[in-house]
């Protein structure tokens, strides 16, 4: 097995061009996105964008469990333990690089096909969300689970959650709800359902496609048309409850929405699991998730990423992320001691303080997005 953090291949295509293949290579860590991974992938995407011989890009994760389970929160935890100055430096660098990579995928000039098999959470969804061709399989499991670790939905989620049907993005952010492939298709987080077993045949078909006879996105679409099998998607979890979920979250304040979710008497197992995550989750994270979705409903992705950078750094240095990671992954006692005892105990002034810019417009690390 290769020890490279991302494995890159350039696969010859019919007609002489090539498919750029990138495989996140940390299967034991469910391909959690390390700083080294981010740098390697970003540099190669820049090179492939400028190389006329590269017709399209394929992005996947190693192993059979996850495309990418999220960011490298253990590295963030270690940086937090080194004190405020070290944590600020490390997290500023990490999140700047991650969000720049996410933005690059959104704006990429060539088709990017993401094989979203298995777990796709947090930073993994950041890689998938902006791709031109987002493939789910029958095993896909998508979530923004930050409520459970003391962060908030970042990686541009402040922007794309607010563009879902009213109240649904807020519900996902507050509960960390896990979505399957059918849910991802319904909410626009995936474009196609391709069975896991079809991966090799799909890649072989892309290799045989003639990218010299048409526009690359259309060539990819024509190949995918042959492999899509939406009838193999699992049953929808979210859409049958759409009206109900909107009645919980689409109106009123965070406090009102959270109270309605927690008081929901439904015995549906999916809804009950979501209620449980909100009940046990970080109160500050709930406020930040709600606030950021409201703030970026009518702005640009770049604006959202710039403000997310400030907020993510502050969550590490001043917020609850360290405690959340400790409880979940370090001590594994699953009993985080959040800094606030409930949603009603989070002062509005504290939320506003966390949103105060760390940089001027001229000096912001993501000013050029």
Summarised one tens digit per residue, pLDDT across range 293-344 is 999 999 999 999 999 999 999 999 999 999 999 999 999 999 999 999 999 9
Average pLDDT over residues 58-73: 97
Q: How far is CA 161 from CA 32, 154, 170, in A?
A: 22, 10, 7
Distance in angstroms (rounded) separating the CA atoms of residues 193 and 231 = 9
Distance separating alpha carbons of residues 157 and 113, to the nearest angstrom: 20
pLDDT per position as a tens digit, 151-182: 999 999 999 999 999 999 999 999 999 999 99
Mean pLDDT across the stretch 349-359? Answer: 97
- Rg for the chain, CA atoms, rounded: 20
* Residue 226 DSSP class: T
Give the separation between CA 48 and CA 104, rounded to whole angstroms.
Answer: 12
The number of residues in the chain equals: 369
The pLDDT of residue 213:
79
pLDDT surpasses 70 at 364 = yes
Q: Check the CA dihedral 357-358-364-367 and report its sign.
A: negative
Residue 103 scores a pLDDT above 80 = yes
- The helix/strand/coil state of 115 is strand
Q: If you search the block for the tokens 């009123």, which residue do you land on?
A: 252
Q: Using DSSP, state whether 95 is helix, strand or coil.
A: helix
Kindly indicate the confidence band of residue 360, based on its pLDDT and cuts at 50, 70 and 90.
Answer: very high
Q: What's the CA gap between 320 and 152, in Å, rounded?
A: 10
Domains and CATH numbers, the chain: 6-354 (3.90.226.10)
pLDDT of residue 251: 80
pLDDT surpasses 60 at 1: no
Mean pLDDT of 65-75: 96
Strand order, beta sheet including 6-12 = 6-12, 18-24, 54-61, 112-116, 133-136, 192-193
Find residue 145's DSSP bridge partners: none
Distance CA(180)–CA(186), nearest Å, equals 10
Distance CA 235, CA 287 (A): 31
H or E segment at 261?
A: helix 254-263
Kindly state the tokens that stand for 200.
């090799």
How much is the average pLDDT of 87-105? 98
Segment 19-42 shows an average pLDDT of: 97
Can you tell me which residue has the tokens 């940089």? 359
Tens digit of each residue's pLDDT (9 = 90 or more) over 52-63:
999 999 999 999
Q: Is 347 helix (H, G, I), strand (E, B) or coil?
A: coil
**Ramachandran category for residue 188: left, alpha or beta (phi over 0 → left; psi -120 to 50 → alpha):** left
Write down the pLDDT at residue 64.
Answer: 94
Per cent of the chain over pLDDT 90 is 96
Pairing of strands 6-12, 18-24: antiparallel
Angle at 173 between CA 168 and CA 174, to 5 degrees: 100
d(CA 26, CA 30): 6
Cα dihedral sign for 350, 351, 352, 355? positive
Average model confidence (pLDDT) for the chain? Answer: 96
User: Which token pair is 226?
Assistant: 């042959």
- Could you tell me the pLDDT band of residue 116, with boundaries at 50, 70 and 90? very high
Residue of 38, 25, 128 lying closest to 76 (CA atoms): 38
Does residue 90 register a pLDDT over 90?
yes
Distance, CA of 68 to CA of 125 (rounded, Å): 8
Measured distance CA(284)–CA(266) in Å, rounded: 26
213-233 residue pLDDT tens: 779 999 999 999 999 999 999
Confidence of residue 3 (pLDDT cuts 50, 70, 90): confident
Q: CA–CA separation, 183 vs 270, rounded Å?
A: 12
Cα dist. 150→244, 279, 325, 353 in Å?
27, 13, 8, 16
**280 pLDDT tier (thresholds 50, 70, 90):** very high
What is residue 15's predicted lDDT score, i.e. its pLDDT? 83
């Amino acid at each position: 097995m290769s020890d490279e953090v991302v494995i890159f291949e350039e696969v010859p295509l019919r007609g002489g061009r090539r498919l750029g293949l990138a495989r996140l290579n940390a299967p034991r860590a469910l391909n959690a996105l390390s700083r080294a991974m981010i740098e390697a992938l970003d540099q190669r995407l820049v090179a492939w964008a400028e190389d006329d011989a590269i017709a399209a890009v394929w992005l996947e994760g190693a192993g059979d469990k996850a495309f990418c389970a999220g960011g490298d929160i253990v590295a963030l935890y270690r940086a937090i333990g080194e004190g405020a100055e070290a944590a600020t430096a490390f997290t500023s660098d990490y999140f700047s690089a991650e969000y720049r990579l996410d933005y690059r995928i959104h704006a990429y000039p060539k088709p990017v096909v993401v094989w979203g098999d298995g777990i796709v959470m947090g930073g993994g969804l950041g890689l998938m969300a902006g791709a031109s061709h987002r493939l789910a399989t029958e095993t896909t499991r998508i979530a923004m689970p930050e409520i459970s670790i003391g962060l908030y939905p970042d990686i541009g989620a402040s922007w794309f959650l607010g563009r879902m049907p009213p109240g649904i993005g807020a519900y996902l952010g507050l509960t960390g709800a896990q979505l399957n492939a059918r849910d991802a298709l319904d909410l626009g987080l995936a474009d196609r359902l391709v069975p896991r077993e079809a991966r090799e045949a799909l890649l072989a078909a892309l290799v045989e496609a003639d990218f010299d006879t048409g526009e690359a996105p259309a060539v990819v679409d024509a190949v995918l048309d042959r492999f899509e099998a939406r009838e193999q998607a699992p049953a929808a979890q979210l859409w049958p409850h759409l009206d109900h979920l909107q009645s919980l979250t689409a109106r009123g304040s965070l406090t009102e929405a959270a109270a309605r979710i927690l008081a929901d008497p439904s015995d549906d197992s999916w809804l009950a699991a979501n209620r449980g995550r909100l009940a046990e989750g970080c109160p500050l994270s709930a406020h930040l998730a709600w606030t950021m979705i409201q703030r970026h409903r009518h702005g640009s992705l770049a604006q959202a990423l710039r403000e997310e950078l400030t907020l993510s750094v502050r969550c590490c240095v001043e917020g609850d992320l360290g405690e959340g990671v400790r409880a979940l992954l370090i001590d594994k006692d699953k009993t985080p001691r959040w800094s606030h005892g409930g949603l009603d105990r989070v002062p509005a002034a504290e939320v506003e303080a966390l949103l105060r810019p760390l940089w001027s417009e001229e000096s912001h690390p993501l000013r050029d997005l």
